[in-house]
Amino acid sequence: MTQIAILTKWKFVVEFEDDETKEVSGTIGQADTLEQCEGLIEYDTQFHSSHGRMVVNAEAAEICGNCDGEGMISTGNDGRVICEACSGHLGPISTLRFTR
């Protein structure tokens, strides 16, 4: 397995269903490491549970920390260059799904 030697960070979404309205909403967040990300998802899950909402889905995505998963870096004067850190990788490098 090839490891990409770039600095990455994690974005996550926690989706929950409101007990009364049955409406599904989500909260998003960001963390520097997977460990931190898991901790925040755990925290969000408990927070929602204690407010009568059921968490239905939680997902995390690892993205390039240099370009936020855009693959491109804005140079400031209307220009965009390919991100050197990830060679222009668009989207998440890996994703994780947390199921209950």
Q: What is the 3-state secondary structure (H, E, C) of 26-61?
A: EEEEEECCHHHHHHHHHHHHHHHHCCCEEEEEEEEE
Closer of 29 and 92 to Zn ion (Cβ)? 92
Closer of 8 and 45 to Zn ion (Cβ)? 8
Helices and strands in the chain, H and E counts: 1, 6
Least Cβ distance, residue 73 to Zn ion (angstroms): 7
Span 31-90, contacts to Zn ion by CB under 5 A: 64, 66-67, 83, 85-86
Contact code string over 4-33 relative to Zn ion, x by CB under 5 A: ------------------------------
Chain residues that interact with Zn ion, rule: CB under 5 A: 64, 66-67, 83, 85-86
